[in-house]
């Protein structure tokens, strides 16, 4: 085994038994049994441990019925890509009827699939920060009211979470056509973790008959 004479740092790589010494010119791999002959034991504690990041696909529902509705969704998507993760898929824009309170303007909705390393609570914090940055102030009595921007966590991998202030899958997902239609466009065979049905199957059984109209521009 070649002794590495160059000064360098030691890094754990993929295994507790393999260590790469990275110097100015050489890279070598050693087992711990051989390594201790060349590096004092007290220096092993200074090594940086690497663990691969685990990416999860999170599905986010976006909606707006105030101002430049498409512009609001595009801006939200841009901020999501900067703070939450890479936007891997996105549906078309859909013009939809308001849910609950029909005495307001129609919405434009969209669903994104985002590759993220964040946990659900951190995603929720980032979503709240994005909405606040875009000018939305959440209020306790705003249910079903107009939205400058609205971002919901629909699905987070296969996780099931039922905590105060955070429910995943979204508890109303399977009841709302304005969510199911764009979600079905990008993930028709995705199985709902609780209901054990695919998204296209949930849409076929959905009793919401409100209009969901695909728009040309994504």
Of the pLDDT bands very low, low, confident and very high (cuts 50, 70, 90), residue 125 is: very high
Distance, CA of 51 to CA of 15 (rounded, Å): 10
Residue 43 pLDDT > 80: no
Is 152 one of the annotated active-site residues of the chain?
yes
Of the residues 25, 119, 132, 147, only one is catalytic, namely: 147
pLDDT at 129: 96
Residue 19 pLDDT > 70: no
pLDDT at 161: 95
Q: What is the DSSP letter of 93?
A: P
Of the residues 150, 159, 163, 208, only one is catalytic, namely: 150
Of the pLDDT bands very low, low, confident and very high (cuts 50, 70, 90), residue 136 is: confident
pLDDT at 151: 96
The DSSP bridge pattern shows strands 15-23 and 27-30 to be antiparallel
Of the pLDDT bands very low, low, confident and very high (cuts 50, 70, 90), residue 22 is: very low
pLDDT at 145: 72
Residue 141 pLDDT > 70: no
Of the residues 119, 136, 176, 208, only one is catalytic, namely: 136
pLDDT at 99: 76
Rounded to the nearest angstrom, the gap between the alpha carbon of residue 68 and the centroid of all alpha carbons in its chain is 25
CATH superfamily of 56-214: 7,8-Dihydro-6-hydroxymethylpterin-pyrophosphokinase HPPK (3.30.70.560)
Is 136 one of the annotated active-site residues of the chain?
yes
Of the pLDDT bands very low, low, confident and very high (cuts 50, 70, 90), residue 124 is: very high
Distance, CA of 107 to CA of 172 (rounded, Å): 17
| SS3 labels along 117-145 | CCCHHHHHHHHHHHHHHCCCCCCCCCCCC
Is 150 one of the annotated active-site residues of the chain?
yes
Distance, CA of 56 to CA of 119 (rounded, Å): 9
Percent of the chain residues topping a pLDDT of 90: 63
* Mean pLDDT, range 187-212, rounded to an integer: 95
Is 138 one of the annotated active-site residues of the chain?
no
């Amino acid at each position: 085994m070649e002794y590495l004479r160059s000064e360098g740092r030691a890094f754990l790589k993929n295994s507790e038994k393999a260590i790469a010494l990275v110097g100015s010119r050489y890279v070598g791999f050693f087992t711990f049994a051989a390594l201790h002959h060349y590096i004092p034991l007290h220096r092993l504690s200074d090594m940086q441990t690497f663990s691969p990041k685990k990416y999860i696909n999170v599905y986010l529902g976006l909606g707006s019925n105030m101002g430049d509705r498409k512009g609001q969704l595009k801006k939200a998507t841009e901020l999501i890509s900067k703070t939450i993760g890479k936007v891997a898929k996105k549906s078309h824009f859909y013009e939809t009827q308001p849910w609950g309170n029909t005495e307001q303007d129609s919405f434009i909705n969209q669903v994104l699939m985002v590759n993220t390393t964040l946990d659900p609570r951190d995603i929720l914090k980032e979503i709240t920060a994005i909405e606040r940055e875009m000018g939305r102030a959440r209020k306790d009595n705003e249910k079903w009211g107009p939205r400058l921007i609205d971002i919901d966590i629909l699905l987070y991998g296969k996780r099931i979470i039922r905590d105060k202030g955070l429910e995943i899958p979204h508890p109303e997902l399977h009841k709302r056509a304005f969510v199911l239609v764009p979600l079905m466009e990008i993930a028709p065979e995705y199985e709902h973790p609780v209901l054990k049905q695919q998204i296209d199957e949930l849409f076929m059984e959905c009793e919401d008959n409100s209009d969901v109209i695909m728009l040309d521009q994504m």
